[in-house]
Structure 1
Amino acid sequence: MSISVASSNAKQSTALFELEEAIDRTLLNVKECKTNRETAIKEIEKQECEVRKMIFETRKKVNLHLNKLEKKLLNELRSSSRTWKSKHMEIIQWLESTEEMIAKLSEQTLHMKQLSSDIQVFLGTRQVHQVITSKMESIKREIGDAKDYEMKLCINSMIKQLPNELETLGEIKVTDCNAKLDFRDPKIGQAQTRIISDTKLQVIKTFQTCRRSGPCGISSCVILPNGHLLTSQYTWDICLVEHSDTGEYIRDVPIPVFKKPYDIAVIDRNRIAVTYGEPEFLEIMNLKTCKIERRVELKDYCWGVCHENGRLYVRSGNSTMQVINLSGGKRKTFQIESNDVRDITTSRDRLYYTDNEKVYCCRLNGDKLWQFPLEGRSIEDLCSIAVDIDNNVYVLCDESNNLTYIHHNGRDSRLLLTEYDGLLEPHSLYYDREKNTMRICNRHGLVWLYNVV
């Protein structure tokens, strides 16, 4: 076979497609590993802040305790000082009184000596002598009982030992474990890619999320980082609804603006992005506080939204995809193949979107990769789209009541579910890539949970 024959249609060959897949996977592996290590650095910085805070808190507690001990000891010192000073003051006051009395006796004796007769002096001397003798005995007794006090401090032995025994306030301990870095070999990845004819869905369970009769108007569903299911109801209930992974109702998440929520994208553990259809903006909401952190004006209807690597991809405008950098960079736009797109999703370096006729796959800058026709669809079909870890695509159509599986090459497909499998009025689809499970919600709030095998 000549090289010209062998190389015919090389640009559309499987070998070239697989080469592109291998290059893309390798680049993504490198980016994911880099992101993982950057996240590890941020985690170390977070841990450093937490340990620093613990050190400060420990020092604060020690200082507070020492302050209490110091205050208690100073109060005891003041009390002891007052007590023993009062003892001395009592003696001083008694001596001052005695001194005053003796001074008067001295004056009386001098007066008697100068003015009295010998008989009077004789008798007076005897009397004063008795008084002074008695007072001298009293002074001797008082002075003999007097005490001197010496206050000293006996430091607690533990405090004394503290400077010598306590060499550190604590110890920084570091444990290590193998990093959860998964560098998947492109060939291994291809070998493990699900074979389209073998792919099956196993029902794990079904549960009801709607708490009223009639359609709930569920337009979107996502899995939160805690494993809970969050649905948007495109109705005037004006709320998102959270359920556990087993179907138990958790709470309503109120929408601060009086608008019907259309689509949801999970940004991180606490934040989501919400679109409202005809209102020309999307909002970033904090799920913990239920408050809007940021509103992004788009100047056109805003339907499907998804998040990938710090960017929001939003279907807004005439055949236009808008790219919003959450870190505040310049907003970008690129043209897409259809103006009737309602649902979009991303997978690493690719963007997928669908109207009621085709499924489209392009790079995150808009460069077209492939498109796949959806045959036999109603013009009224509204389709939801999801992608697994191998870039295989799942398309759910509500009027046709079916789920189509499209191989990542964009050429092969098969029906996975139809109305004969009980699929009625399905409207929203979510693929959990970590657990390899799928959730389908219909208009009436019924949720099917499938295991993809």
Structure 2
Amino acid sequence: MIDPDHIAITYGSSGTNILDVIKLSSGALEKEIQTQQFAKKHSTTENCFGISYWDNKIYVMVEKVGIVVLDTSGKALNTISIDTEKGRKVVVFKDRIYYTDRKKNTVHCLNTVGQEMWVYRDKSIVEPCGLAVASNLDVFVSCSKSNNVILIRCDGKDSKILLRKGDNLVKPKAIHFNRERRELLVCNKSNQHAAVYKVI
């Protein structure tokens, strides 16, 4: 979400090498950003996955390139060069960048210049997909293959399982945390169900 009436969308590995900005009130496509500019060092355009907006900048996870930082016109300002071969989700909040790596089963926290602050790996995290961040910088992660939702503490040193397979999770993918209402939305891939949980 760029503002209450505009969202930016990436299309993953669909072969659609664009990033769209949509006006919600009308449903109209306002801007189409070609992603070829993100992969100048590559012979082909790489797929764009996770996307986040913070401080008038759009952050896009670009496979094999890194996290590309754009202004709202779509101009690339900077690239944070990290291994994003299986990077999928990215969330920027305050002065931190968070992303998941499905190949290494890790969750990463960087500062805004790309220096790694912490990496979290645990046997309970298998194929991390969705990512959300609370006001206190605790991190929620949905894990598709291990069928759970994990809470990682803000310092990246500890975690606990919030939801398990028995809690009606079937390959949980997308998640979102509403910081004002303290509600966590969890969307399943396999049974196409979504549920909202109160975080206390």
Offset from partner CA, 1:5-57 (integer Å, 9 cap, x none): xxxxxxxxxxxxxxxxxxxxxxxxxxxxxxxxxxxxxxxxxxxxxxxxxxxxx
Offset from partner CA, 1:247-277 (integer Å, 9 cap, x none): xxxxxxxxxxxxxxxxxxx111111001111
Distance 2:156 2:67 in 1: 21
* Equivalent position of 1:389 in the other structure: 135
Distance 2:74 2:53 in 1: 15
Q: Please list every run of 5 or more consecutive structure 1 residues that lacks an aligned counterpart in the other structure.
A: 1-265
Match of 1:283 among 14, 20, 31: 20
Distance 1:329 1:319 in 2: 16
* Equivalent position of 2:81 in the other structure: 335
Offset from partner CA, 1:191-250 (integer Å, 9 cap, x none): xxxxxxxxxxxxxxxxxxxxxxxxxxxxxxxxxxxxxxxxxxxxxxxxxxxxxxxxxxxx
Q: How big is the shift at 1:298?
A: 1.6
Q: How big is the shift at 1:319?
A: 4.4
Matched, 1:309 2:55: yes
* Equivalent position of 2:149 in the other structure: 403
CA contact (8 A) 1:306 1:346 kept: yes
Within-5 A mapping of 1:208-223: none
Greater relative CO, 1 or 2 (CA 8 Å, sep 6+)? 1
Closer, same or farther: CA 423–330 of 1 in aligned 2, 3 Å: closer
Distance 1:348 1:433 in 2: 13
Q: How big is the shift at 1:399?
A: 1.6
Closer, same or farther: CA 342–330 of 1 in aligned 2, 3 Å: closer
What TM-score comes out, normalization by structure 1 length? 0.39
Match of 2:186 among 440, 445, 448: 440
CA contact (8 A) 1:281 1:301 kept: no
Distance 2:124 2:84 in 1: 18
CA contact (8 A) 1:274 1:282 kept: yes
Closer, same or farther: CA 372–319 of 1 in aligned 2, 3 Å: farther
Letter in 1 for 2:29: I
Secondary structure of 2:166 counterpart: helix
Closer, same or farther: CA 271–321 of 1 in aligned 2, 3 Å: same
Closer, same or farther: CA 427–351 of 1 in aligned 2, 3 Å: same
Secondary structure of 2:20 counterpart: strand
Letter in 1 for 2:23: N
CA contact (8 A) 1:437 1:452 kept: yes
Match of 1:274 among 4, 9, 12: 9
Q: How big is the shift at 1:376?
A: 4.8
Secondary structure of 1:331 counterpart: strand
Distance 1:302 1:438 in 2: 25
Secondary structure of 1:420 counterpart: helix
Distance 2:81 2:21 in 1: 24
Secondary structure of 2:87 counterpart: coil
Letter in 1 for 2:90: I
- Number of residue pairs matched? 186
Q: How big is the shift at 1:415?
A: 1.0
Distance 2:74 2:144 in 1: 37
Percent of residue pairs bearing the same amino acid type: 29
* Equivalent position of 1:67 in the other structure: none
Structure with higher strand content: 2
Structure possessing the higher radius of gyration over alpha carbons: 1
CA contact (8 A) 2:33 2:74 kept: no
Distance 1:406 1:370 in 2: 11
CA RMSD of aligned residues (A): 1.7
* Equivalent position of 1:450 in the other structure: 197
Q: How big is the shift at 1:425?
A: 2.1
Letter in 1 for 2:8: A
Closer, same or farther: CA 413–324 of 1 in aligned 2, 3 Å: same
Matched, 1:415 2:152: no
Offset from partner CA, 1:380-416 (integer Å, 9 cap, x none): x252111100000111111211111110011111111
Matched, 1:293 2:41: no
CA contact (8 A) 2:63 2:84 kept: no
Q: How big is the shift at 1:374?
A: 3.3
Distance 2:74 2:195 in 1: 38
* Equivalent position of 2:95 in the other structure: 349
Secondary structure of 2:49 counterpart: strand
Letter in 2 for 1:282: L
Structure with higher helix content: 1
Closer, same or farther: CA 296–331 of 1 in aligned 2, 3 Å: farther
Letter in 2 for 1:367: Q
Secondary structure of 2:119 counterpart: strand
Distance 2:74 2:85 in 1: 27
CA contact (8 A) 2:106 2:128 kept: no
Offset from partner CA, 1:266-297 (integer Å, 9 cap, x none): 11111100111132220111112211111111
Q: Please list every run of 5 or more consecutive structure 2 residues that lacks an aligned counterpart in the other structure.
A: 37-45
Offset from partner CA, 1:345-396 (integer Å, 9 cap, x none): 1111111001121000001221211110132554xx2521111000001111
